[in-house]
Amino acid sequence: MMYFVEVIVPLALDPTFTYQVSEAEFNYLQPGMRVVVPFGKSKVYTAVITEKHHRVPQLYEAKEIHEIIDVVPVITQQQIALWQWIADYYMCTLGEVYKSAVPSRLLLESETLIQFNSKAVVRTEDLTDTEYLVYEAMQTQAVLKVDEIIAVLNRKKVFPVIHSLLEKGIISLQEEMVEKYKPKQVRYVRITEEYLRDEGLEKMMQLVSRAAKQRELLLKFFQLQATQKTPISTKQLAEETESSQAVINALVEKGVLETYYQNEDRVVFNEASRNNISLTADQNSVLQEIKQLFTQKDIVLLHGVTASGKTEIYIKLIEQFLTQEGQILFLLPEIGISTQLVARLTDYFGNQVAVYHSKYSHNERLEVWHHVLNNSESAKIIIGTRLSVFLPFQNLKLVVVDEEHESNYKQHDPSPRYNARDSAVVLAMQNKAKVIMGSATPSLESYYNATQGKYGLVKLTRRYSNVQLPEIVLIDLKEKYKRKQMTGHFSDTLIEAVSNALTLKEQVIIFQNRRGFSPVVECMTCGAVPECPHCDVSLTYHKYRNELRCHYCGYTLPMPKQCFRCHSVDLNTKGFGTEQVEEELKTIFPDKNIARMDQDTTRGKYSYEKLIEAFENKKIDILVGTQMLSKGFDFDNVNLVGIMNADNSLYHPDFRAHERAYQMMTQIAGRAGRQEKKGKVYIQTFNPYHNIIQQVTNYDYAGMYKEQMYERHNFKYPPFYRLIRLTMRHRDFDKLREASFWMYNNLREQLKIPVLGPEEPAINRIRNQYIRVILIKIPQNKPLNLTKKDIKRILKSFESIGAYRSVKVTANVDFY
C-alpha cells in the first residue's frame, strides 16, 4: 500500500498537490500539520496537509516530503473550510488564500529572507552544531535566504534549525519595508517596593510633611488606587491633582514613586476596571431587541446614528457571549481607529483583549495566533482588521463588524480579493456564532438584506444623552464667488464659524478629499499639463517638497520652472488638496496650531498615532484631513466640521459614488458635537440642490436608500445583480485590445447574461501597463456557482491561447 498526503502550497496554482510519505509518517501526520515539500526544480515550501489517502496521482509522480514541522496541527479544519469558501467564491486558488491567511513565520519557503538579530545576546556554547553553522554564516552575511541556508548546511532539512533560532531570538524574518507599527507607550506610576512595606506609609508621610503638593498627590494616588483597578498613568495623576509632572518627578527622586512604561494596546491589567456602563433606555431596548432577534436570526444589522453609543452596545453583547469560554472577533475597517477602541475595550475587559493586524511584526502576529489557537485567556476578544478572519478560532461566539459599510473591508490587491465582512459571516456560520454589524450609514447591500429578512434590523435614532445631531448648513459656492466672499477656498461664512469655534477654545475638523497641494499644473500659454510617463494621469503638485507626484505609481519629478512643451514660465495650478487647505488656514489663522492628516503625513503608523494623540490632547486647533478623518473617531472637543468641497465626491464614474458620498459626508459630519453640545457642519458646494447633498443635510438615509436602490435596479447593479470585474493588463495596447475582445465575445456568447466592455477605464494605463475591464453582471436568478465555473472555464481556454499568454487577467468578485 502507498501512503500519500494532500497539501496546499502557498502559490497561485490549483488545487492541492499529492506527496508521498512513509507508513510511519502517515500514521503520525494529521490534517492541519505543516510539512516541508520540494516544488519545481529546486524550491521548497511550507505546505499544509488537508487530507491523508492512498490514491496514486494520475498526472505526475508524487515526490516525497522533506520533513515534518509540527507535532500538533496548527491549522484547523474549519480554517481550511473557510479558505476553500474564499477560494471558490472570490475565484482564486487555495494557495493564495493560505499565503495571505497565515503569519509568515509559519510559512517559510526558499525565498524567505532571514535576518541576523544584531541585538541578540548569544552564548555560542548553548547552540547545537548546526545552529552554530548558521550563526557563523550570518556573521559575514547578515541576511540569508532559506535556500542559502540549505546550501550552507548542505542538507535538505533546515526548517527545524531555523525555527529554533527564531525561537531563541537570534534570527528573525526580515520585515516588509513598511515602517513597523509602534504601539503608543504610556507612562504609569506606582509606589516603590520599599514604601509598600509595613511602615512605608508612615515614612512616606513624614517625607512629604512639608511638601503640600506632593502630599496631595500621594493621597490622590491612594484614592485612585482604591477606586480604579487599572494602572494609574502619570498623565491622569497630574491632571486629577492639577499639578505638574515635576511633582511626580520629585517623588520619584525621593524613591517613593516609580514610573514604568507599557504599550497602550497591549496593556496587562490585573483586573478589568468594569467602568460600569449603564445603558440609556434607548440603548437598553436596542440591546434587548438584538438578543431577541438572535434567537431567530444569525445576523443583526444595527443602524445607529453617529455617537448613539453603538460601542457601548457591542460591549454589553460581548460581555454576554464571553461566558461559556467564547471567543469574540471585533472587526474594524482600518487600524487607525483601533487605539481609541482598544482603550475602551480594555477598560472593560482588561487583558482578555488582543489586537491583530498587518502592521504588527511577524512575532506579535504569531503570538496572537497561538493564543487564539489555544483559546487562551489573553485573547478572548480579538480586535483586528480584515486579516483577523483568518485566525484559528476554537470557540467563536460573536463577530462584531463595526462600520460595516466601509470599502476597506474589501481587499483589492493582491488576491484573495475577499470582503472581510462577508467572509466573517461565513466564518460565523461555520462556528455557529452570531454576527452584529453596525453603522450609521449601512451599505445598500446590508440594508437590503435586512429589509429582505435575511438579517435582523435594529435602529438607534438618537445620540447618547440626547445630544442632537449636528445641524448641517450648506454654503453655495457659486454665490460666494460671485459676491467675492471667498478667501482662497474658504467662504466668509466658514471662516467666521471657524474663528468663533476657536474663540470658544473648541477644535475644528476641515475635510478635503484630496491630498497634495493641487492636482493639476497647467501652462497658461499653451495649456499643456504634465502627466506621469508611466500612467495615464496628470501629476499632482506637492508644494512641501516642491515636486510633482503620481498618485498611482509614486513617480516624482521636481516642480518644473518652465512648461515642458513651450517653455513658458507662466505655470498655474488648478484644483486644491489638503496641503493647500492647510496653507490657507495658516495664513488666515497665523497663531493657531494647524495639522494635516492624509496619506502623506501618516506613512509610518507612528505618525498617525501621534496626530490623533496630539489632537486628543488639544495640541492641535484645526485638523485638516482626507476621508481618513471619517473613520469612527470620537473626539470630545469638536463641535464644528467644515467640508471644503462636496462636489468632487459626487462625480465619480462609479455606481457607488453617490452612496459613498452620502456615507462620507454623514460620517464626517458625525465627528461634530459628540459630547454635550449640538454640533454644526458647513458644507461648501456648487450643487446645494443635488439630491445626495439634500439627503445628507436632512439625515435622510431612507430617501437616499430608496433613490439609490431604484438606480441600482434600473442599471443592473448590486444588490440586484452580482458583479464580477475582470481586469486585463498588458504593455502592448493592440494586443490587449484584441485579447479583451476575445474574452468579451466568449463571455457574452457562453454566459448569456449582461457583459459590459471591454472598456478602457478612466485611467487606462498604470505603470506602463494598459488596462481593459470587463464587467459581468449575474442576475439573482442565475446560479452563482455555475456561472463562476463557466467563467473559470473561459479563463482557462484564454490561457491556453499562445498569443495571449502574457496578458494578465485578474477577477474581482463583488468588486468595490
Which positions make up the binding site?
523, 526, 532, 535, 550, 553, 563, 566
Which of 34, 66, 297, 310 is in the footprint of ligand ADP by CB under 6 A? 310
When CB distances are held under 5 to 8 angstroms depending on the partner's kind, the choice from ligand ADP, Zn ion, none that residue 56 binds is none
- For residues 525 to 554, the per-residue mask of contacts with Zn ion, x marking binding by CB under 5 A and - elsewhere, is xx-x---x-xx--------------x-xx-
Least distance (Å) from Zn ion to the CB of residue 518? 17
Residue 306 touches ligand ADP, criterion: CB under 6 A: yes
Q: How far is the CB of 555 from Zn ion (least distance, A)?
A: 4
Report the C-alpha gap between 486 and 584 in whole angstroms.
12
CA atoms within 13 A on the CB side of 767: 5
425-464 footprint of ligand ADP as x/- string (CB under 6 A): ---------------------------------------x
DSSP state of 108: -
Does the footprint of ligand ADP cover residue 339 (CB under 6 A)?
A: no
Binding site for Zn(2+): residue ranges? 523, 526, 532, 535, 550, 553, 563, 566
Residue 536 contacts residue 525 (beta carbons within 8 Å): no
The position carrying cell 492636482 is 519
Please check whether residue 769 is in contact with residue 730, taking contact to mean a CB–CB distance below 8 angstroms. yes
Nearest to 22 by CA among 74, 59, 62, 80: 62
Residue among 232, 250, 252, 279 that touches ligand ADP (CB under 6 A): 279
Residues 6+ apart with CB under 8 A from 731: 768, 769, 770
283 interface partner picked from ligand ADP, Zn ion, none, CB below 5 to 8 A per type = ligand ADP
Q: Assess 312 for contact with ligand ADP (CB under 6 A).
A: yes
CB of 440 to ligand ADP, least distance (A): 7
Grid coordinates representing 363 are 512575532
Question: Residue 29 or 440: which CB sits closer to ligand ADP?
Answer: 440
Per-residue H/E/C for 742-765: HHHHHHHHHHCCCEEEEECCCCCE
- Tell me: does residue 763 bind Zn ion (CB under 5 A): no
CA atoms within 13 A on the CB side of 500: 11
* Chosen residue from 13, 224, 277, 588 binding ligand ADP by CB under 6 A: 277
Instruction: List the x/- string, 459-488, binding to ligand ADP by CB under 6 A.
Output: -----x------------------------
For Zn ion, which stretch binds (CB under 5 A), given 15-23, 134-142, 311-319, 522-530?
522-530
Phi and psi torsions of 164, nearest 5°: -75, -35
Instruction: Indicate the residue among 605 and 674 with the shorter CB distance to ligand ADP.
Output: 674
Instruction: Report the alpha-carbon distance of residue 587 to residue 584 in Å, rounded.
Output: 5
CB 682 within 8 Å of CB 645: no
From 40-48, 115-123, 287-295, 305-313, span contacting ligand ADP (CB under 6 A): 305-313
User: Which residue in the shown chain puts its C-beta closest to ligand ADP?
Assistant: 309
Task: Pick between residue 500 and residue 572 the one whose CB is nearest to Zn ion.
Answer: 572
Contact range with ligand ADP by CB under 6 A, out of 200-208, 308-316, 318-326, 499-507: 308-316
Pairing between β-strand 396-402 and β-strand 434-439 as defined by DSSP bridges: parallel
Beta partners for residue 724, in sequence order: 776, 813
Would you give the binding string for Zn ion spanning residues 553-572, x where CB under 5 A is met?
x-x-------x-xx-x----
Neighbours of 24 (CB within 10 A): 9
CB neighbourhood size of 277 (10 A)? 16
Q: What's the CA gap between 787 and 765, in Å, rounded?
A: 30
Binding mask 601-630 for ligand ADP (x = CB under 6 A): ------------------------------
Secondary-structure percent of the chain, ordered helix, strand, coil, rounded to 5:
40, 25, 40
Residue 528 CA to residue 525 CA, distance in Å, equals 8
Residue 305 CB, shortest distance to ligand ADP, in Å, is 7
Among 208, 307, 457, 704, binds ligand ADP (CB under 6 A): 307
Residue 231 has what DSSP assignment? Answer: P
Out of 241, 311, 507, 695, point to the residue binding ligand ADP (CB under 6 A). Answer: 311
CA–CA distance from 455 to each of 79, 659, 719 (Å)?
Answer: 24, 20, 14
Binding residues among 650-679 for ligand ADP as defined by CB under 6 A: 674
DSSP 8-state assignment for residue 61: P
SS3 62: coil
Rounded CA separation 157/163 (Å): 11
Find which of Zn ion, ligand ADP, none residue 67 binds, CB within 5 to 8 Å per kind. none
Least Cα distance to 463 among 703, 666, 675, 695 occurs for: 675
Q: Which of 302-310, 408-416, 558-566, 729-737 is the region at the interface with ligand ADP (rule: CB under 6 A)? A: 302-310
Asked if 812 touches ligand ADP (CB under 6 A), the answer is no
Nearest to 726 by CA among 91, 258, 210: 91
Classified as helix, coil or strand, 199 is coil
Q: Which does 756 bind (CB under 5 to 8 A by kind): ligand ADP, Zn ion, none?
A: none
Give the Å distances, CA to CA, from 194 to 147, 190, 206, 494.
55, 11, 15, 58
To the nearest whole angstrom, how small is the minimum distance from the Cβ of residue 636 to ligand ADP? 7
Least distance in Å: CB of 304 to ligand ADP? 5
From the list Zn ion, ligand ADP, none, which binds 311 (C-beta under 5 to 8 Å, kind-based)? ligand ADP
The position carrying cell 443635488 is 690
- Selected from 95, 309, 336, 350, the binder of ligand ADP by CB under 6 A is 309
Greatest distance between any 2 Cα atoms in the chain = 92
Please report, as ranges, the residues that interact with Zn ion according to CB under 5 A. 523, 525-526, 528, 532, 534-535, 550, 552-553, 555, 563, 565-566, 568
Contacts with ligand ADP, residue ranges (CB under 6 A): 277-280, 283, 304, 306-312, 464, 634, 674
